[in-house]
Each structure stands twice: as structure tokens, then as C-alpha cells.
């Protein structure tokens, strides 16, 4: 049985919204709109796509030269408020919630970086000049101490 699109988007939303977040998004280059995260060597790209019918969000997943995508369902009806099926409405809501969570995460990180410039400069300079701190070597931050 294939994994549903809604399940995948819900997984990304949960991992992004958790405190602390399991999924860490970053903004794409300054000349591109969208966000990128890497999970278990899979690149996940969240970005808008534009067409004559309006804009929608798309999630693209890449690994070892292979790619698939999940598109936000197209709105139908007067002023784009209706969907042809219930699961399309649910998927559209998940996309909206995911985009909000990603934007919030990136904005919070940007705000913290602006407030802590000296500490960030010191930490990065030390890593550049002296390498990884002794107490950090051999520890995994994702799964905790060995």
C-alpha cells in the first residue's frame, strides 16, 4: 500500500513544529523563493509554482538522482475556496500549515542570529581556526550521547 501524500506532508509538519524541531529548514538562495531541508540524505524542497490559474505550493523530494513531488491541490469554485474532494481540502490545509511552520522556523532563526552576532562570530571563528570542540567529538546530536 503506497504512503499517502497527506501522511508525508503531516510528517514534515510534525517534525517542523516540534520543540525542538527535528526538521531544520533553510531558505533557498536570495534569488530563489522557497525552503530546503535534508532528511536522511533526501533533499526536501518547498516552493511556490505559478501558473495562469494561480500559485500553489509544491514539495519536491530528491535522492540519488531520483525525484518525485507532491503538489498542493488546485482550488476550484468561486474565488478558489472549494475543492472537488474532501482529501484535497485536507491536503491543502496541511500545505498551508507546513508553509506557516517553515516560515516561522526560519524567521525565528534569523531573529536569533541578529540578536547574537558576537556569540555566533566567536563560535564560528573558533571552529574555523581550531576545529570541532573536544567535548563535541564523537557525539551525535540527533540521537544523543553514544
Determine the average pLDDT of the residues in 83-112. 89
Question: What tens digit of pLDDT does each residue of 39-82 get?
Answer: 999 999 999 998 777 789 999 999 999 999 999 988 766 655 66
> Which residues lie below 8 Å from residue 86, measured CB to CB, with a gap of 6+?
none
Reported as a single tens digit per residue, the pLDDT across 103-117 is 999 999 888 888 888
Long-range Cβ contact pairs of 13-18 (< 8 A, separation 24 or more): 13/94, 13/97, 13/98, 13/101, 15/39, 16/98, 16/101, 16/102, 16/105, 17/101
Element (H, E) at 71: strand 66-71
What are the domain boundaries of the chain? Answer: 5-105
Q: Is the pTM of this model over 0.95?
A: no
pLDDT of residue 39: 94
Amino acid at each position: 500500500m503506497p504512503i499517502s501524500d497527506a501522511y508525508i506532508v503531516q510528517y514534515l509538519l510534525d517534525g517542523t513544529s516540534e520543540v525542538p524541531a527535528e526538521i531544520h529548514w533553510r531558505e533557498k538562495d536570495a534569488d530563489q523563493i522557497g525552503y530546503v531541508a535534508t532528511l536522511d540524505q533526501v533533499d526536501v524542497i518547498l516552493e511556490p509554482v505559478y501558473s495562469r490559474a494561480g500559485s500553489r505550493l509544491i514539495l519536491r523530494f530528491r535522492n540519488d538522482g531520483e525525484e518525485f513531488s507532491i503538489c498542493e491541490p488546485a482550488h476550484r469554485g468561486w474565488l478558489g475556496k472549494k475543492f472537488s474532494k474532501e482529501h484535497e481540502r485536507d491536503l491543502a490545509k496541511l500545505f498551508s500549515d507546513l508553509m506557516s511552520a517553515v516560515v516561522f522556523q526560519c524567521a525565528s532563526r534569523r531573529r536569533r542570529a541578529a540578536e547574537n552576532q558576537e556569540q555566533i562570530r566567536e563560535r564560528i571563528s573558533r571552529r574555523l581556526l581550531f576545529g570541532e570542540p573536544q567535548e563535541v567529538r564523537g557525539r551525535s546530536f540527533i540521537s544523543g550521547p553514544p
